[in-house]
Amino acid sequence: MDVNRRDVLKVLLGGTAMTAVAASTAHVAKAEPDVVPPLEDAVGLLYDATKCIGCRACMPACANANGLPPDRGTSHGMYMQPEALNSLTKNLIKLYVAPDGHERSFIKQQCMHCVDPACVSGCPMQALHKEKYGVVGWDAHLCIGCRYCQIACPFNIPKFEWYRVNPKIVKCELCRHIVGKTTSQPACTQVCPTHAVIYGNRSDLLAEAHRRIKLRPGYYFEDRVYGETEGGGTQCLILSHVDYSDLGLPKMGPLSNASRVRRVTNIIYQGFLTPVVIYGGLVAIIRDRWKTHLAHVAHERANHDDKGIHA
């Protein structure tokens, strides 16, 4: 049998049609198959910028609890003064001042512990993973140091030890190594003098945030909690009277990037059905091509009395 170009197109179109049908039925079966709800016992932080006095007590407390030396940054070696989150700094308080000088707000930067994190979705080896209570943890023995988490994280949180032979990914893990063992809460919430940052169950924190908004309508920015829905939701929540995007918090829709990638991947792969179908079709085509090719070569050889021997 000789396969011509039309047959090839038929096979390819057939494969595409099959996957399209499979895709549409899959779509009917589960409307939002890729959206991950928060765990019931998910824990997190609630940071209320309007209560923060910028004392930065949480920063050395964090460094101490995590065995990190102080980052003296721009302070000429005098005290802890990191410029940004880095491999020595998992937690940072920054001050935002509006260009006109009137509006100001502190902002606490640390891992947001996303409900559906991009870093966990991208990490090839499960080094970054969701563990108990939805905490995003990092395992040294699985990480290959590809730094895809740094590319993927919308908050630019994971940091890398650039100057070490055995580099680690450094980011807040909600003090998972001490909480429930020697302490009941992370170092930052423990030392905060004004309770600007508190630790607890995500649903409780969310209720508390909404209670505060209700108490003072119009006080918090757009009367909403940052992290309730952004990028599929985060376990660390933020309240401020200043526009969240001015505080360096990206504007994001309710769908996480991880779920959008899963959606595209599902459409293309159909649970690995597509590659298998295409592979099967290709084997069938190439088997025919291969037979005609061998016949052709034999014919050419006979015509040209080539020196090649038949293999």
Partner 1 sequence: MTEKWVQCIRLKEPLVTKPFKIMVGLAGFAMLLGILREVSGLGYVTGLNDGYAWGLFKNWNVTALTALGSGGYAVAVMAWIFNERKFHPIMRTAVLTSLVGYGTGMVALGIDVGRPWNFIHILNPKTWNHHSVLLEVAVCMTAYVILALNFENMPPFLERMHNSGDPKKSEQALKIFHFMQATFPFWIALAFVLPSMHQSSLGSLMFLAGDRVHPLWQTARLPLLYLLMAYILGFACVLLVLILSTYVWKLGWDAAILSRLALVMSWLTLWWLVLQFVDLAYRGVFEMAFAFDRYSIVFLVQTLLLLLPAQALQVESLRSKPGSLFRLTLILVIGGLLYRFTPTSIAFIPLGHYTYFPSVIEILMSVGFTALAVVLFLYAVKRFAILPASRGKIAAEAAIRPFDTL
Using the rule CB under 8 A, is 30 a contact of partner 1?
no
Using the rule CB under 8 A, is 262 a contact of partner 1?
yes
Using the rule CB under 8 A, is 18 a contact of partner 1?
no
Considering only the stretches 70-78, 97-105, 163-171, 235-243, report the one whose residues sit in contact with partner 1 under the rule CB under 8 A: 163-171
In the complex, least distance from residue 170 CB atom to partner 1, rounded to whole angstroms: 10
In the complex, least distance from residue 288 CB atom to partner 1, rounded to whole angstroms: 9
Using the rule CB under 8 A, is 167 a contact of partner 1?
yes
Report which secondary-structure segment, H or E, holds 204.
helix 202-215
Among 16, 24, 64, 156, binds partner 1 (CB under 8 A): 156
Distances, alpha carbon 216 to alpha carbons 146, 207, 213, in Å: 46, 15, 5
Residue nearer to partner 1 on the CB measure, 53 or 283: 283
Residue nearer to partner 1 on the CB measure, 126 or 194: 126
Using the rule CB under 8 A, is 295 a contact of partner 1?
no
Residue nearer to partner 1 on the CB measure, 14 or 250: 250
Residue identified by tokens 């989150």 is 85
Using the rule CB under 8 A, is 37 a contact of partner 1?
no
In the chain, where do the E strands start and end? Answer: 43-48, 92-97, 104-109, 128-130, 136-138, 159-160, 169-170, 197-201, 237-239
Among 25, 74, 166, 303, binds partner 1 (CB under 8 A): 166
Residues 109-148 that bind partner 1 (CB under 8 A): 118, 120-127, 141-148
The DSSP string of 237-293 is EEE-SS-GGGGTPPP--SS-HHHHHHHHHHHHHTTTHHHHHHHHHHHHHHHHHHHHH
In the complex, least distance from residue 200 CB atom to partner 1, rounded to whole angstroms: 27
Q: Which residues contact 258 (CB under 8 A, 6 or more apart)?
A: 36, 116, 117, 118, 120, 121, 122, 232
The count of chain residues that interact with partner 1, using the rule CB under 8 A, is: 75
Report which secondary-structure segment, H or E, holds 298.
helix 273-304
Using the rule CB under 8 A, is 285 a contact of partner 1?
yes
In the complex, least distance from residue 215 CB atom to partner 1, rounded to whole angstroms: 31
Using the rule CB under 8 A, is 155 a contact of partner 1?
yes
Distances, alpha carbon 186 to alpha carbons 63, 67, 122, 168, 179, in Å: 11, 14, 26, 21, 6
In the complex, least distance from residue 142 CB atom to partner 1, rounded to whole angstroms: 6
In the complex, least distance from residue 130 CB atom to partner 1, rounded to whole angstroms: 11
CB 248 within 8 A of CB 112: no
In the complex, least distance from residue 61 CB atom to partner 1, rounded to whole angstroms: 23
Q: What are phi and psi of 70, to 5 degrees?
A: -65, 140
Using the rule CB under 8 A, is 308 a contact of partner 1?
yes
Strands 104-109 and 92-97: antiparallel
